[in-house]
Amino acid sequence: MKEPSELSGVDVDRPNAARMYDYYLGGSANFEVDRVAAEAGKAAMPDAVTYARSNRAFLGRAVRYLCSVGVDQFLDLGSGIPTVGNVHEIAQEANPRARVAYVDIEPVAVAHGRRLLAGVDGVTTTQADIRDPASVLSAPGVADLLDFDRPVAVLAVAILPFVTDDAEAAALVAAYRQACVPGSYLVISHIAQLAASREQVAEAEQVMARTPTPVVWRSADRIAPLFNGYALVPPGLLPAPQWRPDGPVEAEHIARANAYAGVGLLR
């Protein structure tokens, strides 16, 4: 990891959600300011690491499922900093011709992605704000790689909490849906109050309010409308560890993940 002075255009004075998430996952693409904020997040929400890792595990299961039903194009919104088990690794293991367009606004995430993916066929990394679908969809790394006349899986894993207005979040998802043809999919995971107390939720939101990307926790009945226009794939929208698990899951772990997840099929 370069020192802050070597990274042009990177804000190292304020903690960043992507770099905090990287820290929770055990990565090294983070700075002291991120680690301090992440530890504050853990103090407010002791299950923060469980949440991050449960999201990552769900992403892997969802991608493997999509490959099993023939999906070979993926648009990963808010993809974050590359770490073990990236979408392209999972997808191209199942289908070497699979194509993956990563999109993130964070310069460190994009820089790491481009360095990691140099020379990898069928994969791009684009720096763009996912809240501007027109810019994302027209970016060369997306438009020149993905064929939207064929099914595309839009991945919105642990990213929609950063779109704090419910109407804006719904409109955002709808814009990506409208770019896709029937047979496409939407994958969502979203932070939710399961094991967390109201006080922990409030304190965790306060920690993130000190970053450029505040978050909102949503209940299942506020997450479900984000799938409007899609048919939920069984087993539906439920706590992330329960979505097609690889094996038995302890009840305590289900709650401590503090996240709902689901996959929708565009009819």
pLDDT digits (tens, 9 = 90+) for 147-175: 999 999 999 999 999 999 999 999 999 99
Query: Is it the case that residue 196 has pLDDT exceeding 80?
Result: yes
> Mean pLDDT of all residues in the chain?
91
What pLDDT is stored for residue 113 in this prediction?
Answer: 84
CA distance 187 to 16: 23
pLDDT for the residue 41: 83
Return the pLDDT at 4. 43
- The rounded Cα 25 to chain-centroid distance in angstroms is 13
Query: Higher confidence at residue 42 or residue 66?
Result: 66
**Closest Cα to residue 22, out of 44, 62, 45, 55?**
55
Coil vs helix vs strand at 267:
coil
% the chain with pLDDT above 90:
69
Digit-coded pLDDT (tens) for 199-215: 999 988 888 888 888 99
DSSP summary character for residue 231:
E
Evaluate whether 91 touches 57 at the Cβ level (below 8 Å). Answer: no
* pLDDT in the model for residue 148: 98
pLDDT digits (tens, 9 = 90+) for 13-53: 788 887 888 888 888 778 899 899 889 888 887 888 899 89
Number of domains in the chain: 1
3 state SS of 96: coil
Q: Are 68 and 53 contacting, i.e. CB atoms less than 8 angstroms apart?
A: no
State the virtual CA torsion across 162, 167, 168, 172 in degrees, nearest 10.
100
Q: Does the pTM of the predicted model rise above 0.85?
A: yes
Query: Which phi and psi (to 5°) does residue 73 adopt?
Result: -135, 130
Angle between helices 87-94 and 48-68 (to 10 degrees): 30
- 87 neighbors 110 (Cβ within 8 angstroms): no
How confident is the model at residue 5, as a pLDDT? 39
* C-alpha to C-alpha distance for 239 and 142, rounded to whole angstroms: 30
Q: Range of 116's domain?
A: 4-266
Distances (CA, A) of 40 to 36, 59, 63, 100: 6, 26, 32, 34
Count other C-beta atoms under 10 Å from residue 224's C-beta: 16
- By CB atoms closer than 10 A (0-12, 13-18, 19+), residue 116 is middle
What is the CATH classification number for the domain harbouring 80? Answer: 3.40.50.150
